[in-house]
Amino acid sequence: MTVDASTTWPTSTLISTSRKSALGSVRVVWVSSMIGLATPKGGVVWHKHDNQPTLLENTLDNYMQSKSGMVFLAYQDVKRLGSEGITCVPAYPGILKTYLQKNFPPVFQNVIGVISKGVEAGAHTEIFAGLSPEIGLKHNGRFIIPWGRLGPIPNHIAVGMEFKAECGTGLAMKF
C-alpha cells in the first residue's frame, strides 16, 4: 500500500505511535538514489512561470530529480515531525540488479551488470534505515547510503534545504 505521508491520517498515526514508543524509534524512510552524480544542480529544476518542478526531456533526468525530491521531503518531515520524536531519513539502497535497467542501452546494461548488487543488498540499507538501533533522532535527516552507513548529502542539494535567509535556495520548502 502506498501512503501519501503529507496527509493528516498517516501524520496523526505516526505522532500517536511515537508518543507510545521509545524516543526516535518511529521512523519515516524516504527511498532515494545516487543523488551525488546525475541530479541537476540544486536537485530539482523549477519552472519559473508556474513555480513547479520542470518535466525534463530525459527520463533518467526526471527520475534523478524525483530522487532529489525524496531528500527534500525527508528534510521537510524532519522539520514537521522531529519535535514529535520521529526520525526521518532518506536512504539510497545502492546500484541494484532490477528490471529498471531493461530499457537501457545494452552497453549500459553490461556496465550495470558488473557493478550492481542483488536486491537483497539494497534491502540491507532499507532495513538499517528503518530498524537499526544505531539510527535515532540525532541522525534525523541524515542520508543513509549502501549498505547501511551514514553518508553526506551532496552540497548542491543541501543548499536547497536551507532558507534563503540562511544562504540557501529554499527549494526544499517549495517541494
Helices 59-81 and 8-19, interaxial angle, to 10°?
Answer: 50
SS3 content of the chain, % helix, strand, coil (to 5): 45, 15, 40
For residue 14, how many other CB atoms are within 10 A of its CB? 21
Which amino acid appears at position 126 of this protein?
E
DSSP 5-65: TTSHHHHHHHHHHHHTS-TT-EEEEEE---TTTSSPTTSSPEETTTTEE---SSHHHHHHH
pLDDT along the chain (175 residues), means of 10: 60 93 93 85 82 83 89 91 95 87 84 87 94 93 94 87 62 67
Q: What is the pLDDT of residue 52?
A: 82
3-state secondary structure of 167: coil
What are the two backbone dihedrals, phi and then psi, of residue 115, each rounded to the nearest 5 degrees?
-95, -5
Buried b (16+ CB within 10 A) or exposed e, 36-48: beebeebbbbbee
Q: What is the pLDDT of residue 1?
A: 43
For residue 60, how many other CB atoms are within 10 A of its CB? 11
Contact 75, 141 (CB under 8 A): yes
Q: What is the pLDDT of residue 5?
A: 53
Q: What is the pLDDT of residue 148?
A: 92
3-state secondary structure of 124: helix
